[in-house]
Chain A
Amino acid sequence: MSHDIVLKVIAKLLIPFILLFALYVQFHGDFGPGGGFQAGVIFAAGIILYALTNGPDAAMRIMPPRLLTPLAALGVLLYGGVGIATVLLGGHFLNYDVLAHDAVHGQHYGILLIELGVGVTVASVMLVIFFAFITQEP
């Protein structure tokens, strides 16, 4: 288990594409199947693959756990922030129409930001839970 070079080499080449695919799913939520939740899960799965092949310490160097908890909060904050912003701009809570000059663009940007918040939160919470499990002493 210590030096399985096949898994290490393959994972290094594969993980960038997994992460980019996650971001593709993230930003094409309103054109095809997908959205923030799935994207967050795929992104976290890519990092988990790195932790499985190169060990938890290497994965924690890429995604430091002390950054993950604030990121999870940031995602929720983004979600809430969009809601507050719509209220401040004179609409109802999460009424995206007021975010841009016309309703269609407003909807577009609003959903994009909301989904980004969901994705960030899901990915970081999943990684926090995963790291909590693997660093636990048996």
Chain B
Amino acid sequence: MLYFSLLFAVLFGFWLLLSGFWDNGLLLGLGLASSLFVAWIGTRLQSPEQENGYSLGMLLRLPRYLVWLVVAIVKSNIDVVRRVWDPLNQPITPVMGRLPVSQRTSLCKTIYANSITLTPGTVAIEVSDTDVQVHALTRDAFADLAGGEMDREVSRLEVGAGHRRSSPNGKGQA
């Protein structure tokens, strides 16, 4: 029910921003009906046997994480672009390897995998329950990721900064 209400509110906001007709009663009514209908379908998409992993606390911690992520994206973009234009001084050293995943919910595993892929220079290939296969453009990019900073940031998103769990492999204490 919480998911339904939240989804409905977000969808109606989405409609208002897309439409821009805020004084047209007919379109507002259609927007309300559409949002209700789509929120109903959206809740049915969530299968009941599967945990969904959403929580309000996570939503509140998201903006801080996004800022951190954008900074990481900018840094890694600059790195990859330098390696495109200056191959002699900064050669590429492709690396393929597996890294541990310490998140429990599939939502946070997805966030971690997508953050890996979203920063150019590292791509998450296969995500399993305990680890993720990563291809990196350079050894340094892989070492950065193995250092576990991104893993810690996503885990903090999951459980909150107060009671941060230690990573199961004793990694990430770099």
A/B: CB atoms within 8 Å of each other: yes
Binding site for B on A (CB under 8 A): 4-6, 8-10, 12, 15-17, 19-21, 23-24, 27-28, 31, 50, 58, 61-62, 108
Nearest neighbor of A58 in chain B, beta-carbon distance:
B47
Report whether A16 and B11 are in contact in the complex, using a CB–CB cutoff of 8 Å: yes
Chain A residues near B30 (CB-CB < 8 A): 23, 27
Chain B residues near A12 (CB-CB < 8 A): 42, 45-46
Binding site for A on B (CB under 8 A): 7, 11, 14-15, 18-19, 21, 26-27, 30-31, 34-35, 37-39, 41-42, 44-47, 106-107, 109-110, 113-114, 124, 127
Report whether A27 and B27 are in contact in the complex, using a CB–CB cutoff of 8 Å: yes
Chain A residues near B7 (CB-CB < 8 A): 16
A5–B125 alpha-carbon span in the complex (Å):
12
A45–B11 alpha-carbon span in the complex (Å):
18
Report whether B19 and A9 are in contact in the complex, using a CB–CB cutoff of 8 Å: no
Report whether B45 and A15 are in contact in the complex, using a CB–CB cutoff of 8 Å: yes
Report whether A5 and B42 are in contact in the complex, using a CB–CB cutoff of 8 Å: no
A29–B31 alpha-carbon span in the complex (Å):
14
Instruction: Tell me the minimal C-beta distance from B108 to chain A in angstroms.
Output: 9
Chain B residues near A4 (CB-CB < 8 A): 127
Instruction: Tell me the minimal C-beta distance from A56 to chain B in angstroms.
Output: 15
Nearest neighbor of B37 in chain A, beta-carbon distance:
A23
Which applies to chain A's interface (DSSP): helix, strand, loop or mixed? helix
Report whether B107 and A16 are in contact in the complex, using a CB–CB cutoff of 8 Å: no
CB-CB under 8 A for A20 and B106, given A5-B127, A6-B113, A6-B127: no
Report whether B39 and A16 are in contact in the complex, using a CB–CB cutoff of 8 Å: yes
Instruction: Tell me the minimal C-beta distance from A71 to chain B in angstroms.
Output: 14
CB-CB under 8 A for A9 and B45, given A20-B11, A23-B34, A31-B21: no
Report whether A6 and B110 are in contact in the complex, using a CB–CB cutoff of 8 Å: yes
Chain B residues near A58 (CB-CB < 8 A): 47
Instruction: Tell me the minimal C-beta distance from B90 to chain A in angstroms.
Output: 30
* Max count, chain B CB within 10 A of own CB: residue among A4, A17, A62: A17
Instruction: Tell me the minimal C-beta distance from B151 to chain A in angstroms.
Output: 16
Report whether B110 and A9 are in contact in the complex, using a CB–CB cutoff of 8 Å: yes
A16–B7 alpha-carbon span in the complex (Å):
8
A-B contact pairs, 23 of them (CB 8 A): A4-B127, A6-B109, A6-B114, A6-B127, A8-B106, A9-B110, A16-B38, A16-B39, A16-B45, A19-B42, A20-B11, A20-B14, A20-B15, A20-B35, A23-B30, A24-B31, A24-B34, A27-B27, A28-B19, A61-B44, A62-B44, A62-B45, A108-B26
